[in-house]
C-alpha cells in the first residue's frame, strides 16, 4: 500500500493542450507543487517558464519529443532532446518511429533509440546532476502484441528507462492488458508508464496493480484527492478474499 505522498510521486501531471495559455501553465505548476507530483509534462516551448516556476519545488520537469506521431527524422528528435535538456527538462517522453516499426524496419527504430539514449546521457551529464530519464512511447493502440513486444525489447536493450503506453492522442490509451504485457517483457526493474485516458483513482490503481510504475494524466489532482490508503487496503483485502 502506498502512502498519500508515495502515491503522488507516481503521477506525471500533464498539460499538453495546444491552446493552454501562459497563465494556465503557471496555475498548473502551482497545483503540481501543491500536490508534490513526480513531474510536470509540458510542451518544449514552456520549459523556461516552468523551470522558473518550479525552481523551489520537488517537482521535476519533463517534456515530449517527436510528439505526437514519432514521425520526425532522427536528427530532428536528437536536436529536440538536446535543446529540451539544455532548457531544464529532467525527463523526456519520446515517441518512437511507429511507422518504421510497423514496416519491419527494426534497425531504424533501434538506431534512433540508441542515438537518443546516448545523446541525452551526454547532454544531461554534469558533475552533480543525475542523468536524464528517458521514457519511450510505443503508442500501443496501433501495434499488434508482437510489435509491442518487439518495441519493448528494443527500448529495454538500448538503455531506455521507461516504456510508455500512449501519447493520449490515439483513439485508445493505456490498458491493463498492455501494462501486463510490457511488464512481462521488460522485467521487474524497468519503468513502465501508463498514459492515455486515466482520469480516476480506480483507473490509476488498476494500472499500478498490473505493473505500471508511473501514471501519466491530466487529472493528477483529482486522482490524488481520491486516493485513501485505508480504503484501498480494505478493497484489496476483499479482492483477495
Domain at 11, CATH number: 3.20.20.70
Task: Work out the average pLDDT over 208-230.
Answer: 97
Give pLDDT, residue 44.
98
Inter-CA distances, 176 with 29, 84, 180, 236, Å:
29, 31, 6, 17
Is 77 a residue of the active site?
Answer: no
Catalytic residue at 93?
yes
Average pLDDT over the chain reads 94
130, pLDDT greater than 80: no
- The residue with greater pLDDT, 240 or 140, is 140
Is residue 69 helix, strand or coil? coil
Q: How confident is the model at residue 236 (pLDDT cuts 50, 70, 90)?
A: low
Check residue 122 and give its pLDDT.
83
Q: Please report, rounded to a whole number, the percentage of residues in the chain having pLDDT higher than 90.
A: 89
Average pLDDT over residues 91-107: 98
Q: How many residues are present in the chain?
A: 241
Active-site position among 93, 148, 161, 178 = 93
> So what's the pLDDT on residue 127?
36
Instruction: Give the pLDDT mean for 192-212.
Output: 98
Total number of domains in the chain: 1
Residue 241 pLDDT: 46
pLDDT band at residue 128 under the 50/70/90 scheme: very low
Alpha helices, DSSP H, located in 19-144 = 22-35, 47-53, 74-86, 98-102, 106-123
Q: Which residue's C-alpha cell is 515530449?
A: 64
Choose the catalytic residue: 90, 135, 148, 193. Answer: 193
Domain boundaries, position 26? 4-240
Assign 92 to helix, strand or coil. Answer: strand
Cα 210 from Cα 196, distance rounded (Å): 15
Q: Residue 238 belongs to what H/E stretch?
A: helix 229-240
Name the catalytic one among 60, 90, 135, 164: 164
Q: Which residues contact 91 (CB under 8 A, 6 or more apart)?
A: 12, 39, 41, 60, 61, 62, 132, 133, 134, 135
Question: Does the annotation mark 193 as catalytic?
Answer: yes
pTM, entire model: 0.94
Amino acid at each position: 500500500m502506498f502512502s498519500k505522498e508515495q502515491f503522488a510521486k507516481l503521477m506525471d501531471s500533464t498539460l499538453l493542450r495546444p491552446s493552454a495559455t501562459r497563465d494556465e501553465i503557471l496555475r498548473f505548476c502551482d497545483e503540481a507543487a501543491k500536490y508534490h507530483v513526480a513531474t510536470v509534462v509540458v510542451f518544449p516551448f514552456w520549459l523556461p517558464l516552468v523551470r522558473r516556476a518550479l525552481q523551489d519545488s520537488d517537482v521535476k520537469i519533463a517534456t515530449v519529443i517527436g510528439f505526437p506521431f514519432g514521425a520526425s527524422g532522427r536528427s530532428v528528435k536528437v536536436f529536440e532532446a538536446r535543446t529540451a535538456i539544455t532548457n531544464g527538462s529532467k525527463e523526456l517522453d519520446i515517441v518512437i518511429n511507429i511507422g518504421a516499426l510497423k514496416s519491419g524496419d527494426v534497425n531504424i527504430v533501434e538506431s534512433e533509440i540508441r542515438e537518443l539514449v546516448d545523446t541525452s546521457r551526454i547532454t544531461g551529464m554534469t558533475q552533480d546532476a543525475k542523468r536524464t530519464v528517458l521514457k519511450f512511447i510505443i503508442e500501443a493502440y496501433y501495434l499488434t502484441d508482437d510489435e509491442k513486444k518487439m518495441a519493448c525489447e528494443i527500448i529495454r536493450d538500448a538503455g531506455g528507462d521507461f516504456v510508455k503506453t500512449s501519447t493520449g492522442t490515439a483513439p485508445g490509451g493505456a490498458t491493463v492488458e498492455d501494462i501486463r504485457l510490457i511488464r512481462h517483457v521488460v522485467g521487474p526493474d524497468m519503468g513502465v508508464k501508463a498514459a492515455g485516458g486515466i482520469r480516476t483513482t480506480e483507473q490509476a490503481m488498476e494500472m499500478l496493480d498490473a505493473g505500471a510504475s508511473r501514471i501519466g494524466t491530466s487529472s493528477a489532482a483529482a486522482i490524488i484527492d481520491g486516493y485513501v490508503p485505508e480504503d484501498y487496503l480494505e478493497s484489496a483485502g476483499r479482492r483477495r478474499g
